[in-house]
């Protein structure tokens, strides 16, 4: 792949007075991707001839982001009203050609994808007194994708997907000497409709409507300056992202096609956590236990292609349920004035149950017990006042799943930063995945025996220069961090 990426960001904050601020920014992103793929399939037994397929693709995409925000401060600076509007439009056309091993053109593909996202938020914070706070908010969200797929410049299929989400939340928090608590709930209306049409097949439609409540409760007890206990419960949703529901092929090979599944439903998680934080001479250490019950977890699966008896289909599906319970620990430590570190370690039992296809392409129920282990650490070394060294490492153990088992992976990064021009500027150099070990390796038995790996562009050298031209009394308006509530990946890659 040869990727050329261009980014433009511009914005302005307008201070009407000390109480009212308007803010606007836009991101304009232009990407060009040229890809060349050689795909060789070798059959060492039987009479099936080996296959060579060449794939050449060009994609010129454009992404527009527009954000408008308003903030109002009341007499009490802790009492605030925030209004935010965000619109995102992404257009991704693809023009690709497939050739055989003798460079004879087999087929062309023309794919157009138009994605749109609009979010409107209103957040209000009202301190009832010095130790009590009430938060309320509203959100309206709309996501849509429209896709067309032509083969040899002739219509083959199209897909449109629209979902609207209306929600309202409230949180009530109070401090009672050594105790504090926050209880809240979010109510949500979720409405989705998807339509898929393909030549020589019956059009498919998927509709779903869900109205649900997501409660949460957090309790904290501070015994003294060095010991704090926390107990929490929350229910959350992770919806499939737009790539996971799009049934138009993402990529194709002589033996496997990758597509999304428009019939995916959201996964819901009920989570309980108990944590203990200890403050020591060199920093704080938090240790906790947790239990999570996940309904309809989304995962990547391989099934027999319904369109080609000689191909498998890599797609996504909902498994039945998953229960997770385990322990985790994390900490922020200062060993010396010039040496700080933070770390995180967790391990847990993960019971997963779902249906997969066996060698005869018949769905069978399967359950597994996985025991993942994850670890990360980051060290900062302040060699001088203006020169810093950073070292980061992570490790993820092998993990069993209903259809595939992932093997372990790890990486380590190294970086340096030098401040310049009386801290007005800086230059940073970061080398990611120094030993080139970050890759997904997997194996499975159903529906076929599979052993493979996938590598991505993890070994990179980044050089960054920053310079601050000046600063005034006003800082850029800070937007609230919001969770998209979407699954990421969900499978081998």
For range 283-296, the mean pLDDT: 96
Closest CA to 296 of 312, 314, 316, 315: 316
For residues 290 and 326, the answer to whether their CB atoms sit within 8 Å is yes
Helices assigned H by DSSP within 93-249: 242-245
pLDDT at 489 over 80: no
Tokens of 186: 């979010």
- Tens of pLDDT, residues 76-100: 989 999 999 999 999 999 999 999 9
Identify the pLDDT of residue 228.
97
Identify the pLDDT of residue 363.
84
Positive or negative torsion for Cα 371, 394, 233, 188: negative
Q: 199: domain CATH number?
A: 2.40.170.20
Closest CA to 403 of 369, 445, 364: 445
**String of DSSP letters for 11-35:** EEEEESSSSEEEEEEEEEEEEEEEE
* 480 assigned to some structural domain: no
For range 266-289, the mean pLDDT: 96
For residues 429 and 414, the answer to whether their CB atoms sit within 8 Å is no
Identify the pLDDT of residue 366.
87
- Tens of pLDDT, residues 467-487: 988 766 666 777 777 777 777
Tokens of 416: 């340096």
Identify the pLDDT of residue 481.
77
* 221 assigned to some structural domain: yes
Cα dist from 15 to 78, 81, 123, 168, whole Å: 18, 15, 19, 29
pLDDT tier for residue 490 given thresholds of 50, 70 and 90: very low
* 479 assigned to some structural domain: no
- Tens of pLDDT, residues 180-192: 999 999 999 999 9
Tell me what percent of the residues of the chain surpass a pLDDT of 90.
Answer: 73
Identify the pLDDT of residue 472.
61
* 405 assigned to some structural domain: yes
d(CA 245, CA 343): 35
* 487 assigned to some structural domain: no
- Tens of pLDDT, residues 348-400: 999 988 888 887 878 888 889 999 999 999 999 999 999 999 999 999 999 98
pLDDT tier for residue 49 given thresholds of 50, 70 and 90: confident
Residue given tokens 């896709």 in the structure block: 147
* 170 assigned to some structural domain: yes
Where does 130-238 show beta strands of DSSP type E? Answer: 132-151, 154-176, 179-198, 204-224, 227-238
* 204 assigned to some structural domain: yes
Residue given tokens 């107990």 in the structure block: 231
Domain span at residue 364 reads 2-467
Pairing of strands 256-258, 312-318: parallel
Tell me what percent of the residues of the chain surpass a pLDDT of 70.
Answer: 98
pLDDT at 493 over 60: no
* 482 assigned to some structural domain: no
pLDDT at 140 over 90: yes
DSSP letter, residue 467: E
Whether the upstream peptide bond of residue 447 has omega within 30° of 0, thus cis, is yes
Collect all residues with Cβ–Cβ distance below 8 Å to 113 and sequence separation of at least 6: 90, 91, 92, 93, 94, 145, 146, 147, 246, 248
Count: domains in the chain: 1
Mean pLDDT across the chain, nearest whole number?
92
For residues 165 and 266, the answer to whether their CB atoms sit within 8 Å is no
């Amino acid at each position: 792949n040869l990727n050329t990426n261009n980014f433009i960001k511009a914005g302005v904050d307008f201070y009407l007075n000390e109480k009212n601020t308007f803010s606007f920014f836009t991101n304009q992103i232009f990407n060009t991707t040229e890809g060349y793929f050689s795909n060789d399939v070798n059959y060492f037994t039987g009479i099936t001839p080996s296959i060579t397929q060449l794939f050449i693709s060009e994609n010129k995409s454009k992404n527009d982001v527009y954000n408008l925000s308003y903030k109002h401060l009341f007499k009490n600076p802790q009492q605030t009203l925030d209004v935010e509007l965000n619109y995102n439009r992404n257009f991704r056309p693809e023009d690709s050609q497939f050739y055989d091993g003798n460079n004879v053109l087999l087929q062309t593909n023309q794919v157009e994808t138009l994605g749109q996202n609009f979010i409107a938020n209103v957040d209000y914070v009202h301190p009832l007194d010095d130790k009590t706070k009430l938060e309320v908010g509203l959100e309206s969200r709309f996501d849509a994708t429209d896709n067309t797929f032509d083969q040899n410049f002739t219509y083959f299929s199209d897909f449109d997907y629209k979902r609207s989400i209306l929600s309202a939340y409230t949180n009530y928090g109070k401090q009672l000497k050594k105790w504090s608590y926050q209880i809240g709930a979010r109510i949500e209306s979720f409405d989705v409709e998807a339509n898929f049409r393909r030549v020589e097949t019956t059009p498919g439609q998927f509709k779903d409507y869900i109205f649900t409540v997501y409660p949460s409760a957090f309790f904290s007890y501070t015994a003294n300056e060095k010991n704090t206990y926390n107990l929490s419960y929350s229910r959350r949703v992770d919806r499939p992202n737009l790539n996971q529901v799009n049934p138009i092929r993402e990529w194709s090979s002589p033996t496997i096609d990758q597509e999304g599944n428009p019939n995916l439903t959201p996964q819901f998680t009920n989570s309980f956590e108990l944590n203990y934080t200890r403050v020591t001479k060199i920093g704080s250490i938090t240790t906790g236990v947790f239990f999570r019950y996940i309904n309809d977890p989304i995962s990547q699966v391989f099934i027999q292609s319904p369109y080609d008896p000689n191909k498998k289909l890599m797609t996504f599906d909902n498994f039945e349920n998953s229960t997770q319970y385990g322990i985790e620990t994390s900490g922020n430590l200062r060993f010396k004035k010039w040496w700080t570190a933070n770390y995180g370690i967790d391990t847990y039992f993960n019971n997963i149950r779902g249906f997969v296809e066996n060698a005869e392409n018949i769905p069978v129920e399967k359950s597994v017990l996985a025991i993942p282990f994850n670890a990360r650490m980051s060290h900062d070394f302040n060699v001088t006042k203006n020169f810093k060294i950073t070292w980061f490492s992570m490790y993820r153990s092998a993990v069993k799943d209903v259809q595939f088992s992932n093997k372990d992976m790890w990486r380590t990064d190294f970086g340096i930063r030098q401040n310049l021009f009386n801290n007005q500027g800086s230059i940073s150099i970061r080398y990611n995945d120094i030993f080139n070990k970050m890759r997904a390796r997997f194996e499975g038995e159903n529906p076929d025996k599979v052993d493979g790996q996938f590598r991505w562009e993890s070994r990179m050298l980044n050089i960054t220069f920053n310079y601050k031209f000046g600063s005034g009394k006003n800082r850029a308006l800070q937007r609230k961090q919001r969770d998209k509530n979407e699954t990421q990946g969900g499978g081998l890659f």
